[in-house]
């Protein structure tokens, strides 16, 4: 690609025009001397010509048109440029000329041309190149006026003899067309880069947010664990001792049969939320061990079957994958969370299918969990991995499932990608390195050492 043609075209509004007209009287004829100067964004155009001498006019026209100043540039110019075939009767004009309708009337132009200008001025401000070419071929005089509407300058007599110039225009317009194409392509590339940069920035912001939440979660988990330990211990001791009594007064019977078991269930629920939070915060320091990803998928599917109870089909498509090093209990927990989440996204629709796919991809192993369910919109995708973010009704989800998934994937030095759109289902793809880069076990105190590249979220089809 040639270097940045875009700037020359796009900056066409920065320009200056000047010209003068002199009368040269010879012994038996009168000639007009034309001097023209045009500068558009660094390109300088000089024009000198004598009217009534066709050869000179044709050469000067060729010089004029051979410069990189193209039809397109003239068209977009805010200086007024037009071609007249008779006094104030214009057959072609540019944007600047069209904008000067008010001044043009002062030049005493013909009513027909005025009407034409009105039509152009009200709609198509840019004359198409073909009109210019036609006008040049047909003949006329190039008229240039400054934007302030000063005295118009008649520059270049055009006529049948400028056919050569016409071909030059055509050649030039090809170059210009190519330049325009390249400019458009270049702009597309810049736009694409900008979008990518934006996505990376968004991901970084999300990561930072998750890291902060991870620290918070780890802190909360520890602080809750202590009181919950004695609350749970005391209540369950009370329950056991009351239960062991041979006879109980009637009001206490309800405590033994209902109230204390329900209280203990509540304590268990709090404890399991805290345990999830801690998993999200990457505070598990179990040793890495070799494991078979496909076996963990099977294990997760077995448990998932019990949970989804036949509400959807669970399909597996497991390819050969090498042994990985990691924490298999976490991996199966992560897979279970993804599968159950996918099943919930089906909302009991007919023919709901959750597919689990494993593949080797270069030096990575990927496991994808795909559903054909409701899908997610942009705002949901953006907050997906935040702890306690849930789209489920109150009481049906803690909003920790995907937070745990994120923690496990980050813990294994992997990445997770999400593709989803409303109505188009969702696909979560986890990529784990075959040779794990050593992810140091975190210190006992929670720290914000999260991998920046752990998440990539993109819209389906993007």
Partner 1 sequence: MARILVVDDDPLVGKALSRLLRREGFEVAIASDAAQALVMLDGFTPDLVLSDHRMPGMTGAELLALVRRRHPGVLRLLISGDAERAPSVAGDPDLEFVAKPWDGPALVARLRGMLSPYDAFGEREVTL
Position among 24, 200, 212, 237 found at the interface with partner 1 (CB under 8 A): 237
Select from 47, 61, 94, 283 the one that contacts partner 1 (CB under 8 A).
283
**Residue 7 found at the interface with partner 1 (CB under 8 A):** no
49 touches 156 (CB < 8 A)? yes
What string marks each residue from 183 to 222 as x (binds partner 1 by CB under 8 A) or -?
A: -----------------------------------x--xx
Q: Which of 68, 232, 399, 436 binds partner 1 (CB under 8 A)?
A: 232
Go through the chain and tell me how many residues it has: 462
Least separation in angstroms between residue 200's CB and partner 1 is 33
Cβ closest to partner 1, residue 27 vs residue 230 = 230
| Burial track 282-320 (b if 16+ CB lie within 10 A, e otherwise) | bbbeeebeebebbebbebbbeebeeebeeebebeeebee
Q: Is 266 in the site for partner 1 (CB under 8 A)?
A: no
Residues 6+ apart with CB under 8 A from 298: 316
CA distances for 275 relative to 218, 222, 335, angstroms: 10, 10, 17
Size of the site for partner 1 (CB under 8 A): 24
Rounded Cα distance between 397 and 400, Å, is: 8
The rounded distance, in Å, linking the Cα atoms of 390 and 398 is 7
- The end-to-end CA distance of the chain, in Å, is 25
Q: Interface with partner 1 includes 444 (CB under 8 A)?
A: yes
How many Å apart are CA 378 and CA 386, to the nearest integer?
A: 15
We find the least distance from the C-beta atom of residue 240 to partner 1, in angstroms, to be: 8
CB of 267 to partner 1, least distance (A): 8
- Is residue 380 involved in binding partner 1 (CB under 8 A)? no
Tell me how far apart the alpha carbons of residues 416 and 403 are, in angstroms, rounded to a whole number: 12
Q: Does 284 bind partner 1 (CB under 8 A)?
A: yes
The residue within the footprint of partner 1, chosen from 44, 205, 259, 286 (CB under 8 A), is: 286
Asked if 272 touches partner 1 (CB under 8 A), the answer is no
Q: Given the rule CB under 8 A, which residues bind partner 1? A: 218, 221-222, 225-230, 232-234, 236-237, 240-241, 267, 271, 278, 283-286, 444
């Amino acid at each position: 690609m040639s270097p940045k043609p875009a700037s020359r075209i796009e900056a066409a509004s920065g320009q200056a025009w000047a010209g003068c007209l002199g009368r040269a009287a010879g012994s038996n004829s009168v000639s007009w001397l034309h001097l023209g100067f045009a500068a558009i964004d660094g390109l300088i155009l000089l024009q000198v010509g004598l009217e009534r001498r066709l050869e000179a006019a044709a050469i000067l026209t060729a010089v004029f048109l051979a410069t990189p100043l193209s039809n397109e540039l003239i068209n977009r110019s805010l200086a007024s440029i037009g071609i007249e075939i008779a006094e104030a009767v214009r057959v072609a004009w540019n944007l600047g000329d069209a904008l000067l309708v008010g001044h043009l009337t002062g030049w005493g132009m013909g009513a027909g041309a005025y009407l034409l200008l009105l039509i152009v001025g009200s709609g198509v401000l840019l004359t198409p190149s073909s009109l210019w070419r036609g006008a040049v071929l047909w003949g006329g005089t190039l008229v240039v006026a400054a934007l302030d509407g000063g005295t118009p300058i008649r520059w270049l007599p055009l006529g049948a003899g400028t056919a050569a110039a016409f071909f030059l225009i055509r050649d030039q317009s090809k170059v210009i067309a190519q330049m325009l194409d390249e400019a458009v392509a270049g702009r597309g590339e810049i736009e694409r880069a900008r979008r990518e940069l934006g996505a990376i920035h968004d991901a970084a912001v999300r990561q930072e947010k998750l890291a902060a939440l991870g620290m918070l979660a780890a802190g909360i988990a520890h602080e809750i664990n202590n009181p919950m330990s004695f609350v749970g211990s005391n209540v369950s001791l009370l329950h056991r001792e009351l239960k062991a009594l041979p006879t109980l007064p009637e009001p206490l019977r309800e405590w033994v049969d209902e109230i204390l078991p329900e209280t203990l269930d509540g304590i268990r629920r709090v404890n399991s939320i805290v345990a999830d939070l801690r998993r999200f915060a990457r505070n598990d320091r179990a040793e890495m061990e070799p494991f078979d990803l496909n076996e963990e998928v099977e294990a997760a599917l077995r448990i998932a079957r019990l949970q989804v109870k036949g509400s959807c089909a669970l399909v597996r498509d497991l390819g050969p994958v090498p042994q990985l090093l990691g924490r298999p209990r976490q991996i199966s927990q992560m897979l279970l969370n993804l599968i159950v989440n996918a099943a919930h996204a089906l909302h009991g629709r007919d023919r709901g299918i959750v597919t689990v796919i494993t593949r080797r991809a270069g030096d990575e192993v990927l496991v994808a969990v795909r559903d054909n369910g409701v899908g997610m919109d942009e705002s949901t995708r953006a907050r997906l991995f935040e702890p306690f973010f849930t789209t489920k009704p109150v009481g049906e989800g803690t909003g920790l499932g995907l937070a745990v998934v994120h923690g496990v994937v980050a813990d294994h030095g992997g990445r997770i990608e999400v593709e989803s759109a409303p109505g188009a289902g969702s696909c979560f793809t986890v990529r784990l390195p075959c040779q794990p880069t050593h992810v140091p076990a975190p210190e006992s105190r929670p720290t914000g050492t999260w991998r920046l590249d752990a998440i990539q979220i993109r819209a389906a089809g993007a």
